[in-house]
Chains A and B, each alone.
Chain A
Amino acid sequence: MVANIRDLRTELPLAWRIASMRIRGQAHYRGSFVMQLLGNTIMTMIEVLGIVIFFQRFPALGGWTLNEVLLLYAMSAVVFEVADTIQNGLDLVPDHIRTGDFDKLLTRPMSLYLQGMLLDVSVRHIGKLLLAVGLFVFAWIRVDPNVTLANILLVGTAMVCGVALFVAIFSLGAIISFWTVGSIEMVNAISYGGSDLAQYPMHIYRSWFRWIFMWIVPVGLVIYYPTLILLDKPDPLGLREVAPVLGPVTTIAFIGLVSWLWERGVDHYHSTGS
């Protein structure tokens, strides 16, 4: 662990240089960059429009008002977009494994995981991210929660844990591809599904489904509970007292499991080379 941290100190500046090179490369294709940015931004705006329309037809969702759901939506969206930006390159790992290009990564003196993340650095999420941050600020002002040190710590921890959790979830796709390339889409159900379901209050889901996304993939503990406590909403699941601790603990456990799986995957990797 100590060695890892020392490596990271030398590797992070290098990672930053690789990332900025990749971003500069994209800046040359201004037209397609703008179009992609626009496309992604419109997608998020339509999702928000959908929620607003629902609240024109219905007064509440599980006892939560429009502004409260928007705050939850924004929390989940901010966390998801930051995580997606960080992990972008990992999406390419399956292709590299299939073609045998992954060998090249093994020869370089840098953490494999970091190299995987740097395979593609894309700034196309920036539009969605800015929109989500804007929405967060808007919803925050509308619900006007108590700004106490405890609440700020709560939200800050939730954001950090959320990003880490979603990066870990996204890594599962790359990890599975060390064994099989057939069923990576399953991971999308957990990453995109996990982010989508965290946009709504967890107590609207059936118990078996909620259980999976609280205790196995803890998005509920990390995003729903901090928002519930911040808004001081009724707590149908009765975890209010312990959730601020359970969220980080389950996140760390999940990351531990995922990094163990990553190590197993790398050990299992046999080149496809000829």
Chain B
Amino acid sequence: MRVYYEIARLALRQNVAYRAATLAGLFTNSVFGVILSSVMIGFYGSLERGSVRGWSESDAVTLIWINQSLIMVMYLWGWWDVSKSIQTGAIATDFLRPISWYGLWLSREAGRAAIALVLRMIPTLLVGWVLFDIALPASPAHAIGFLVAVLLGVWVSFSIRLLTNLTSFWLIDHRGIAAISMSVGTFLSGMAMPIDFFPDPLRRITELLPFQAILMLPNNVYLGKGNPLEMFAIQAFWILALGGACLIVLRQGERKLVVHGG
């Protein structure tokens, strides 16, 4: 276990190093937070009554800021480390290590996510609170539940990214797949609006897919919508299902892998 802890600690320290990038990222998330919450408030201004499908204006604006704060925690865009390791052949060395390959990447992910939580999530939420007076968690229990849901969400997001990365065993250029999975996945995770806003057929399909586990379910727990244990169970299901799928794909990929030495 100790070795995984050390890997996570190393990944954490690597990610602390980029201070200017952290500030720039915070600035970007805040600008988009302002734009999207203004749009949300603009839409709510056109209503006679206060809420849409159980979502008040304050809930919806809070969702916008939670989502902006989680972008870097969930690392929704542009994570191709495993894909690169397949293309360069470095994955062969990773297979030779006396530790689990999945555990190696999960530990790195844990370290990365932990630092993003402190340096990106909390400051972005603070900006949202100062500028748009977003709702705070109703109780300490809500806050702890939210943290649990975020950590499980990171694990689901990691599993989906791992799976798309593993397509590199078969595809040489992953940029097309990347753009498609990014945009579809982000939208279905509830980035722009609560999935309760979706037309019913689309909402029902979305609830059968893993993407809601990344943003929508942590939002629900934060805002006290629904039973948190049910949300955790859905997230745990996807962690197991996608983890299993990764291992099967990895087996297939291993057989196909040819690494040129020299």
Contacts and interface: CB of A to CB of B under 8 A. Distances in A.
Interface of A: 29, 31-32, 34-40, 42-43, 46, 49-50, 53-54, 56-63, 180, 182-186, 188-190, 193, 196-197, 200-201, 204-206, 209
Interface of B: 18, 20-21, 23-25, 27-28, 31-32, 34-35, 38-39, 41-47, 52-53, 172-173, 175-180, 182-184, 187, 192-193, 197-199
Given A53-B197, A189-B32, A193-B31, A38 B176 contact: yes
Nearest to B178: A39
Q: Which applies to chain B's interface (DSSP): helix, strand, loop or mixed?
A: helix
Max chain A CB contacts within 10 Å: which of B23, B34, B43, B173? B43
A38 B46 contact: no
A103 B122 CA distance: 42
Contact of A42 (B20, B23, B180): B180
Contacts of B53: 57
Contacts of A32: 172-173, 175-176
B161 to A, nearest CB: 16
B199 to A, nearest CB: 7
A53 B38 contact: no
Nearest to A185: B24
B20 A182 contact: yes
Contact of B25 (A31, A185, A200, A205): A185
Contacts of A35: 173, 175-177, 180
A209 B34 contact: yes
A161 B52 CA distance: 39
Contacts of B45: 62, 204
B28 A186 contact: yes
B22 to A, nearest CB: 10
B180 A38 contact: yes
Contacts of A39: 175-180, 183
Contacts of B177: 35, 39
A29 B173 contact: yes
A193 B42 contact: no
A54 B179 contact: no
A57 B197 contact: yes
**Highest count of chain A CB atoms <10 Å: which of B31, B192, B193:** B31
A190 B199 CA distance: 32
A180 B192 CA distance: 33
A200 B39 contact: yes
A60 B28 contact: no
Given A58-B47, A61-B46, A182-B21, A42 B28 contact: no
Contacts of A57: 43, 52-53, 197
24 contacts: A34-B176, A36-B176, A38-B176, A38-B180, A39-B178, A42-B180, A46-B187, A50-B187, A53-B198, A54-B39, A56-B199, A57-B43, A61-B46, A62-B42, A182-B20, A183-B24, A189-B27, A189-B28, A193-B31, A200-B35, A200-B42, A204-B38, A204-B41, A209-B38
